[in-house]
């Protein structure tokens, strides 16, 4: 007969407990998505949201919106962006046969070849559409949104399905209006370049601001008008960057906080608390191919900062990815200036005010930076149309002020 003493029992328990905890720390996947199972020192986005809405009960509904946005970001990162190259135009996943590995060299072609391979524009479109539907379905069932406004067509009209915002008729008790660009930079995705989701959340406006075109019904028009608010009215804004890691940066109007997705536990973890952009940087980020279309003053500005003749007195160096969220993320962390100015070809600029520049301007100001058209504060522009464009200079406060001085000469 085996006799077990109390001491032996305690020993057995200690060994079992040790194995269990080692298993948990070695296989954190077993924690699932339950933030409560994480140590107190780790701040997940869900926990962060609970704590911030506790201190600001007015924003309680934002918690469920943010929860939907973070789910959408995770889904886009893991199920959409990482499938670039194997998604066809109809949204199906497809592995091209090895004999057809070279993509069509005519990237403007809009048809997939018989083997399923796509031009890079079409590959971007297919991925964009998937990201768009992931985000919209994540948000539409929160019951907190009156209108969802998707990305508008770019200059090349490639994102043709997204010219108009989607109305959420099922919305009940709607309190917020969200604008977003589901996957900015998707035209580059076939080359493995970082992309991002941009979002901004307004409270519903009391009254309509402008009249709208003929092709929308009256009730739809009333709804659409809700999105046309200046950026100063944003209650929250942020972006998800899909890159070497997935990073979600956000602000509720009291600073900027950044969260990195830990894929092993499926949680966004606070990695960049209270981000502050340096007041001046040494990087400039602009598409220099447009230089000949810029005003003389703007050309002087860039020549001077490159040659160390600007206020800093040292030479700036260039960094331009051509993917907005990636360029802004670097600018936010390292400082400097990102510019997509208005020019002679695009007198109103290229980037969209509501879905792209506005939310990013909000974020940069919240981090202590500046956001200007070159002639005034971006957040004060009252949009007159959903597809309104604006020139923009976003970045370190002193850099943005400096370019404004050049443009005012």
Tokens for 320, please give them: 């331009």
Other beta carbons within 10 Å of 30: 11
Output the smallest distance, CB 352 to ligand FBP, in A: 6
Asked if 120 contacts 149 with a C-beta cutoff of 8 angstroms, the reply is no
Other beta carbons within 10 Å of 233: 15
- Nearest CA-CA partner of 293 in 349, 375, 353: 349
Other beta carbons within 10 Å of 48: 20
Query: Which residues in 52-61 are b (16+ Cβ under 10 Å) and which e?
Result: bbeeeeebeb
Rule CB under 6 A: is residue 160 a binding residue for ligand FBP? no
Stretch that binds ligand FBP, among 13-21, 77-85, 183-191, 363-371 (CB under 6 A): 183-191
Determine which residue in the list 38, 64, 75, 154 makes contact with ligand FBP, applying CB under 6 A. 154
**Residue 116 or residue 391: which is nearer to ligand FBP going by CB?**
391
Output the smallest distance, CB 287 to ligand FBP, in A: 3
Tokens for 145, please give them: 């949104």
Determine which residue in the list 32, 263, 322, 376 makes contact with ligand FBP, applying CB under 6 A. 322
Contacts of 38 (CB under 8 A, 6+ apart): 31, 44, 265, 267
Determine which residue in the list 97, 245, 264, 287 makes contact with ligand FBP, applying CB under 6 A. 287
**Residue 155 or residue 215: which is nearer to ligand FBP going by CB?**
155
Q: How many residues bind ligand FBP (CB under 6 A)?
A: 12
Rule CB under 6 A: is residue 285 a binding residue for ligand FBP? no
Task: Answer left, alpha or beta for residue 336, where phi above 0 means left and psi between -120 and 50 means alpha.
Answer: left
- Nearest CA-CA partner of 198 in 335, 376, 311, 361: 361
Rule CB under 6 A: is residue 288 a binding residue for ligand FBP? no
Say if residue 196 is exposed, middle or buried (CB neighbours under 10 Å; 0-12, 13-18, 19+): buried
Q: Which residue is nearest to ligand FBP (CB)?
A: 154
Stretch that binds ligand FBP, among 170-178, 184-192, 209-217, 252-260 (CB under 6 A): 184-192
Stretch that binds ligand FBP, among 206-214, 297-305, 318-326, 390-398 (CB under 6 A): 318-326
Output the smallest distance, CB 155 to ligand FBP, in A: 6
User: 109 vs 103, 121, 154, 216, 225, CA distance in Å?
Assistant: 11, 8, 17, 31, 36
Asked if 283 contacts 337 with a C-beta cutoff of 8 angstroms, the reply is yes
CA 161/CA 20 separation, integer angstroms: 51
Output the smallest distance, CB 185 to ligand FBP, in A: 4
Determine which residue in the list 184, 267, 343, 365 makes contact with ligand FBP, applying CB under 6 A. 184
Rule CB under 6 A: is residue 324 a binding residue for ligand FBP? yes
Taken in order 169, 74, 388, 361, is the CA torsion positive or negative? positive
Distance of CA 230 to the CA centre of its chain: 19
Question: Scanning residues 342 to 381, which ones bind ligand FBP (CB under 6 A)?
Answer: 350-351
Stretch that binds ligand FBP, among 35-43, 230-238, 323-331, 374-382 (CB under 6 A): 323-331
**Residue 63 or residue 327: which is nearer to ligand FBP going by CB?**
327
Tokens for 218, please give them: 């009256």
**Residue 35 or residue 369: which is nearer to ligand FBP going by CB?**
369
**Residue 141 or residue 320: which is nearer to ligand FBP going by CB?**
320
Instruction: Say if strands 370-372 and 392-395 run parallel, antiparallel, or are unpaired.
Output: antiparallel
**Residue 44 or residue 285: which is nearer to ligand FBP going by CB?**
285
Binding mask 113-142 for ligand FBP (x = CB under 6 A): ------------------------------
Stretch that binds ligand FBP, among 108-116, 180-188, 207-215, 365-373 (CB under 6 A): 180-188
Contacts of 207 (CB under 8 A, 6+ apart): none
Determine which residue in the list 185, 310, 374, 395 makes contact with ligand FBP, applying CB under 6 A. 185
Question: Scanning residues 79 to 118, which ones bind ligand FBP (CB under 6 A)?
Answer: none
- The footprint of ligand FBP (CB under 6 A) covers 154-155, 184-185, 187, 287, 322-324, 327, 350-351
């Amino acid at each position: 007969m085996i006799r077990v003493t109390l001491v032996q029992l305690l020993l057995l328990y200690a060994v079992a407990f040790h194995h269990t905890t080692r298993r948990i720390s070695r296989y954190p996947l077993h924690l699932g998505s339950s933030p409560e199972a994480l140590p107190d020192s780790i701040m997940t986005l869900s926990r962060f949201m609970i704590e911030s809405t506790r201190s600001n009960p007015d924003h309680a509904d934002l918690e469920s919106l943010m929860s939907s946005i973070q789910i959408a970001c995770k889904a886009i990162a893991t199920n959409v962006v990482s499938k670039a190259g194997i998604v066809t135009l109809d949204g199906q996943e497809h592995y091209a046969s090895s004999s057809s590995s070279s993509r069509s060299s005519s990237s403007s072609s809009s048809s997939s070849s018989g083997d399923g391979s796509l031009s890079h524009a079409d590959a971007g479109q297919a991925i964009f559409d998937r990201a768009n539907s992931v985000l919209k379905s994540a948000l539409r069932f929160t019951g907190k949104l009156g209108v969802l406004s998707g990305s508008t067509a770019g200059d090349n009209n490639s994102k043709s399905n997204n010219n108009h915002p989607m109305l959420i008729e099922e919305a009940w008790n709607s309190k917020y209006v969200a604008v977003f660009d589901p996957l900015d930079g998707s035209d580059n995705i076939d080359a493995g370049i970082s992309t991002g989701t941009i979002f901004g959340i307004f409270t519903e406006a009391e009254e309509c601001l402008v009249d709208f075109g003929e092709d929308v019904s009256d009730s739809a028009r009333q709804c659409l008008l809700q999105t046309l608010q200046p950026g100063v009215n944003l209650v929250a804004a942020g972006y998800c960057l899909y890159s070497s890691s997935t990073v979600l940066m956000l602000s509720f109007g009291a600073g900027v906080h950044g969260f990195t997705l830990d894929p092993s536990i499926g949680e966004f973890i606070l990695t960049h608390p209270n981000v502050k952009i340096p007041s001046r940087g040494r990087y400039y980020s602009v598409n220099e191919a447009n230089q000949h279309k810029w005003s003389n003053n703007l050309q002087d500005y860039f020549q001077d900062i490159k040659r160390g003749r600007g206020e800093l007195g040292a030479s700036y160096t260039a960094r331009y990815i051509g993917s907005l969220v990636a360029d802004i993320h670097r600018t936010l962390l390292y400082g400097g200036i990102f510019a997509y100015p208005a020019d002679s070809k695009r007198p109103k600029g290229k980037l969209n005010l509501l879905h792209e520049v506005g939310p990013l301007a909000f974020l940069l100001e919240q981090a202590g930076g500046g956001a200007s058209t070159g002639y005034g504060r971006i957040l004060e522009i009252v949009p007159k149309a959903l597809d309104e464009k604006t020139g923009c200079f976003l970045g370190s406060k002193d850099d943005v002020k400096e370019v404004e001085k050049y443009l005012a000469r």
